[in-house]
A and B are shown apart, each in its own frame.
Chain A
């Protein structure tokens, strides 16, 4: 199958601190991964496309200096929420595409900034 592991599943942090979320493709290589944000009872909003070995592509309205993305290897992408504030509290999900499996999603990270 196509498995994407995301860690941590939940994190609570203080306002002003940074949080790193990891997304790993366990049994396949992913040159491209995607980061989404989901508010309660809402759809998934694409934040950025993570490209292995190059800069991420951010969607309109997403602050690249706020949400740092690094895709240093074919199996790992990280999203760092810098100087987090309560309004950054949300459910963050990564995904990667694999032929015949559609887009496989990580289990998500529920971030709470207090």
Chain B
């Protein structure tokens, strides 16, 4: 079935260090979305990228969509303890663009 691969699976960093998670698809995507899920919580929409090569920033978070629209990344500068959680990318499904398929997620933990 359709898969959106995400790496790394886990990342443990010292507070203040940077963090990056990568998302890859074997097919060209019309768009890609990023979500954050805090421990015990539900996914919260962060952003959607649509254009080839698009870069968007939200404070310390930088989101990129690859030129070929097959990969994306989320970079957090100077992590804080509030950044703890699992970050998922998500892409439209093959059979129906109205549904989204989630990547495997990257779980970020931080040492104070």
Contact = CB atoms under 8 A, between A and B. Distances in A.
Contacts of B42: 93, 105-108
B108 to A, nearest CB: 13
Contacts of A101: 45
Contacts of A107: 41-42
Interface stretch (B12-20, B60-68, B77-85, B92-100): B92-100
Interface residues of A, number: 23
B55 interface: no
**Which size bracket describes the interface of B in this complex?**
20 to 34
A34 B42 CA distance: 14
B88 A43 contact: yes
A102 B93 CA distance: 15
B22 interface: no
Main secondary structure of the interface of A (DSSP, over half): strand
Nearest to B9: A41
Contacts of A95: 43
Nearest to A106: B42
A34 B96 CA distance: 12
Contacts of A43: 88, 102-105
B32 to A, nearest CB: 11
Contact of B107 (A41, A93, A97, A104): A41
A103 B90 contact: yes
B88 A44 contact: yes
A15 to B, nearest CB: 25
A60 interface: yes
Contacts of B88: 43-44
Given A42-B105, A44-B102, 16 more contacts: A32-B98, A34-B99, A36-B102, A43-B88, A43-B103, A43-B105, A44-B43, A46-B93, A46-B99, A46-B100, A46-B101, A49-B99, A95-B43, A101-B45, A102-B35, A103-B35
Interface of A: 32, 34, 36, 41-46, 49, 57, 60, 93, 95, 97, 101-108
Interface of B: 1, 33, 35, 41-45, 47-48, 88, 90, 93, 96, 98-105, 107
